[in-house]
């Protein structure tokens, strides 16, 4: 799809509008990513502030999703899709695959007989509906019998008032979703009240200094061992590491401990594998398998986020002329993204984590200070992930890549991530 068509100031079609694409993870009680809320924002501020702003944005979203296909944007996850009243009433809404989307009614929608009838019709057609940024009101009681999910913004009311509201909402068979969950304490409080879904980056917040052991998936280790025993090509071994971020961190720790004082800094995954050698790798995998517990848990959202960051940064370097397709820089970009959440995973400050790794100076500067070309790319990946779109434009300019190129890299990254089996 061509997204960079020339646009006239007021007469352009919504489908030609340039936009930012963001995905905010929605987690279940096991802190496994269940869905994403899709956010599309106009990149043209002057166009976005016209009087029909909501209608234009809704048109941009529906046209884009139909052109790309939700399966490409979402992969194996469900998608929460914001709608205005105009979009709710539009037949275009029914083009969306009902088994994969949740229709999220914006808080600006006024409930009347027409809205209730339309929601009832969509539910009968198999769509799942949700109320966005919601606080209990008697005016919504007819809708409570129709919608499946109620999203509660934790910033919209004092936490001490939440239990009373939850008690009222539990009169209906609703799934409660807590929005803007920013701390583990908020998550625990809401989970205790019976919330089933959670949205917010509480799981990606650094905490106090504390060393934490991260288990490696037995499935991933067995797969790697099979490749090593079969004398697989180094590219296949490298791919096994790329699909399991914990393995990358453990490999770097191993290289640093076995070759203490190694003069040459580790430049890439392939370099680390070659430094260690397949014989040593086999021994390490065998020991790790013995140490691995039998219990398997759900995928840690941090690992999926780290893998997506790394792949996005790698794709930008490989594909776009601003970086001249530098293969070694692309490898370092991937490693930077993968390692960028290790401070949260290990509950330790990033400088402490980096001290244990024999990595190149540009990766260290990116991780600790967000400086240098890799630091700019890491900031870009983080701002896109956090849907802080106002900060994306300046970072794109500094990286010398276009918004369309970013979107292309995002979609390729999502497709790649759909095939990952990230277990901790």
| pLDDT at residue 54 in the model | 54
As a whole number, mean pLDDT of residues 335-354 equals: 84
Residue 379, pLDDT > 90, answer yes
As a whole number, mean pLDDT of residues 35-45 equals: 75
Alpha carbon distance 72, 412 (integer Å): 9
Helical spans, DSSP H, in 69-154:
70-74, 85-89, 113-124, 141-144
Each domain of the chain, given as residue ranges in start order, spans 14-203, 206-424
Check: CB of residue 378 under 8 Å from CB of residue 340.
Answer: yes
Range of weakest confidence among 65-74, 79-88, 273-282, 395-404: 65-74
As a whole number, mean pLDDT of residues 389-394 equals: 90
Helical spans, DSSP H, in 292-371:
301-319, 327-339, 342-345, 350-355, 361-369
As a whole number, mean pLDDT of residues 291-320 equals: 74
Alpha carbon distance 170, 121 (integer Å): 24
Residue 164, pLDDT > 60, answer yes
Residue 325, pLDDT > 50, answer yes
Residue 234, pLDDT > 50, answer yes
DSSP string, 176-229: EEEES--SHHHHHHHHHHT--EEESSGGG---SS--------HHHHHHHHHHHH
As a whole number, mean pLDDT of residues 57-85 equals: 72
Strand partners, 101: 79
**Banded pLDDT at 297 (limits 50, 70, 90):** very low
- 297: number of Cβ within 10 Å: 13
Extract the tokens encoding 245.
Answer: 């971020």
- Mean residue pLDDT across the chain: 79
Domain 206-424 class in CATH: mainly alpha
Residue 144, pLDDT > 90, answer yes
As a whole number, mean pLDDT of residues 294-315 equals: 74
| pLDDT at residue 378 in the model | 97
Residue 68, pLDDT > 70, answer no
CATH code of 14-203, in short, is 3.20.20.450
């Amino acid at each position: 799809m061509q997204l960079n068509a020339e646009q006239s100031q007021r007469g352009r079609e919504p489908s030609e509008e340039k936009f930012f694409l963001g995905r905010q993870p929605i987690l279940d009680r096991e802190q496994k990513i269940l869905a994403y809320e899709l956010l599309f924002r106009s990149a043209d501020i002057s166009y976005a502030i016209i009087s029909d702003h909501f209608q234009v944005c809704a048109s941009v979203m529906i046209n884009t999703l139909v052109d790309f296909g939700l399966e490409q944007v979402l992969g194996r996850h469900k998608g929460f899709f914001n709608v205005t009243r105009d979009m709710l009433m539009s037949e275009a809404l029914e083009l969306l695959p009902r088994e994969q989307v949740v229709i999220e009614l914006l808080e600006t929608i006024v409930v009347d007989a027409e809205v209730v009838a339309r929601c009832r019709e969509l539910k009968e057609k198999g769509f799942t509906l949700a109320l966005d940024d919601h606080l209990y009101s008697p005016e919504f009681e007819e809708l409570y019998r129709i919608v499946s999910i109620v999203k509660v913004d934790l910033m919209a009311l004092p936490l001490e008032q939440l239990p009373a509201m939850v008690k009222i909402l539990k009169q209906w068979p609703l799934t409660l979703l807590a929005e803007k969950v920013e701390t583990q304490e908020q998550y625990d409080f809401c989970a205790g009240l019976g919330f089933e879904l959670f949205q917010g980056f509480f799981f990606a917040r650094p905490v106090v200094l504390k060393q934490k052991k991260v288990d490696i998936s037995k499935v991933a280790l067995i797969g790697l061992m099979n490749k090593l025993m079969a004398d697989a090509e180094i590219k296949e071994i490298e791919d096994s590491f790329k699909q399991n971020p914990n393995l990358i961190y453990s490999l770097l720790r191993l290289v640093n401990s076995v070759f203490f004082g190694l003069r040459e800094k580790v430049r890439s995954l392939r370099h680390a594998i070659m430094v260690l050698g397949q014989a040593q790798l086999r021994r390490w995998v065998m020991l790790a398998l013995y140490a691995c517990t039998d219990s398997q848990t759900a995928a840690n959202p941090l690992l999926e986020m780290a893998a997506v960051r790394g792949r996005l940064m790698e794709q930008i370097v490989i594909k776009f002329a601003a970086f001249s397709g530098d293969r070694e820089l692309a490898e370092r970009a991937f490693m930077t993204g993968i390692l960028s959440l290790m401070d949260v995973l290990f509950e330790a400050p990033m400088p402490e984590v980096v001290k244990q790794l024999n990595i190149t100076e540009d990766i260290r500067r990116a991780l600790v200070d967000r400086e240098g070309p890799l630091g700019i790319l890491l900031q870009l990946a983080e701002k896109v992930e956090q849907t802080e779109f106002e900060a994306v434009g300046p970072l794109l300019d500094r990286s010398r890549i276009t918004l369309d190129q970013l979107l292309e890299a995002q979609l390729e990254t999502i497709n790649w991530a759909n095939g990952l089996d990230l277990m901790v």
